[in-house]
C-alpha cells in the first residue's frame, strides 16, 4: 500500500479541536488506515482534502472514511442514518466499525460521477434537493438510536453575546412553535446542502448526514443558505431570492412553504450561533437571512 498522507487541513482541525490528543491521533492515522484497508480488503488511494475526517477512495467502488472518536460520535451516527435509509436517496453503507476507542470508520459506496450541486443553477439544484430529501423522509420512518432532536442542535434561548438578543429569542420561540405543531416526525438529513448531494448516474444521493429526527421542513433551512457566497447583500434582493428558492424547494420536498420559511430562520440563527461559539465572529449573512424572513 502506498504511504498514507494526512492532509494538513485535517491535522490542523484535529489539533485545534482536541489539542495534543488530536495531533497524536493524526500520527496514528497511517496505521489505522492500513488496518481498515486490510480488514475490508480494499486498496486505498490519496485522501480527499477534507478537514474533519480522513476520507479516501477505496478501489473503484468504495470510499473509506475514518473519524476521531469524539463525544459527538458523528461517524457512528452517519452509519446509523445510512443503514436506516438503505440506499433510498443516500449513499449505501457497505461496512462500519464504530465501537472502537481509537477511531470510527465506515466503508461507503462510491458514486459516479460523484459531482455535487454547487455549480448547478437554483432552478435545477433546489428541486433536486427537495426530491432527494423527500426520498429520505419517506424511507426513514424508524428513528435510529443516534438521531438528534432538532431542539438539541443549539440552545437558542441562551443565545450568544455576539448575536442580537431579539433575533435569538424570535428563533427560539419559532423553533418551539415548529416543534409543537410538527406532524409525524421523520429522519431528516440535518445538513442538506448542495455540497452534500452527489450525482449518481441519473439520480442523486446524499452524503454526510447529521441525522435529525423531526419536521420534514427542517431540511429546507440549510439548503437555502447555500451555496456559500451566493446570497446578495442588499436586503430587498435577498428577500426576493429566498422566496424564489422556497418556491422551488418546498413543493419538491412536499412541505409547506411557511414551515420551510420558519425552519430557514431557525437554521440561519443556529448557523450564526455556531460560528460565534467557534470564535468565527458574527455571521452577518446568516443574520440577514433570519431578519428578512422572520
pLDDT (tens digit, 9 = 90+) per residue, 87-118? 999 999 999 999 778 899 999 999 999 999 99
pLDDT at 1: 66
Are the CB atoms for 275 and 290 separated by under 8 Å?
A: no
Q: Is 90 helix (H, G, I), strand (E, B) or coil?
A: strand
Report pLDDT for 26.
95
Residue ranges of the chain with pLDDT lower than 70?
1, 71-72
CATH 3.90.1200.10 in the chain is located at 114-293
**Separation of alpha carbons 284 and 35, rounded Å:** 44
> Which residues make up the CATH 3.30.200.20 domain(s) of the chain?
8-110
What pLDDT score was predicted for residue 67? 94
Three-state secondary structure call for residue 223: helix
Q: Is the peptide bond before 154 cis (omega within 30 degrees of 0)?
A: no
Domain 8-110 CATH assignment equals 3.30.200.20: yes
CATH topology of domain 114-293: Aminoglycoside 3'-phosphotransferase; Chain: A, domain 2 (3.90.1200)
Of 126, 121, 120, 14, the C-alpha closest to 70 is 14
Amino acid at each position: 500500500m502506498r504511504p498514507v498522507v494526512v492532509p494538513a487541513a485535517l491535522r490542523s482541525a484535529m489539533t485545534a479541536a482536541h489539542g495534543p490528543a488530536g495531533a497524536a491521533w493524526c500520527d496514528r492515522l497511517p496505521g489505522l488506515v492500513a488496518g481498515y484497508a486490510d480488514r475490508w480488503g480494499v486498496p486505498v488511494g490519496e485522501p480527499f482534502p477534507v478537514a474533519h475526517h480522513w476520507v479516501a477512495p477505496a478501489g473503484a467502488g468504495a470510499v473509506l472514511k475514518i473519524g476521531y472518536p469524539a463525544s459527538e460520535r458523528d461517524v457512528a451516527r452517519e452509519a446509523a442514518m445510512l443503514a436506516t435509509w438503505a440506499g433510498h436517496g443516500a449513499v449505501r453503507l457497505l461496512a462500519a466499525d464504530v465501537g472502537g476507542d481509537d477511531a470510527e470508520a465506515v466503508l461507503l459506496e462510491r458514486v459516479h460521477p460523484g459531482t455535487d450541486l454547487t455549480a448547478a443553477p437554483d432552478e435545477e439544484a433546489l428541486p433536486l434537493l427537495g426530491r432527494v430529501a423527500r426520498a429520505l423522509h419517506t424511507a426513514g420512518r424508524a428513528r435510529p438510536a443516534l438521531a438528534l432532536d432538532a431542539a438539541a442542535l443549539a440552545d437558542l434561548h441562551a443565545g450568544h453575546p455576539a448575536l442580537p438578543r431579539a433575533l435569538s429569542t424570535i428563533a427560539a420561540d419559532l423553533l418551539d412553535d415548529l416543534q409543537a405543531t410538527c406532524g409525524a416526525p421523520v429522519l431528516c438529513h440535518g445538513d442538506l446542502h448542495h455540497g452534500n448531494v452527489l450525482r449518481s448516474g441519473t439520480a442523486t444521493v446524499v452524503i454526510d448526514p447529521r441525522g435529525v429526527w423531526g419536521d420534514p421542513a427542517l431540511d429546507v433551512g440549510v439548503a437555502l443558505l447555500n451555496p456559500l457566497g451566493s446570497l446578495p447583500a442588499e436586503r430587498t434582493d435577498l428577500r426576493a431570492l429566498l422566496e424564489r428558492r422556497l418556491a422551488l424547494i418546498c413543493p419538491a420536498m412536499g412541505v409547506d412553504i411557511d414551515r420551510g420559511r420558519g425552519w430557514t430562520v431557525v437554521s440561519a440563527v443556529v448557523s450564526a450561533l455556531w460560528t460565534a461559539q467557534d470564535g468565527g465572529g458574527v455571521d452577518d449573512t446568516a443574520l440577514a437571512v433570519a431578519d428578512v424572513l422572520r
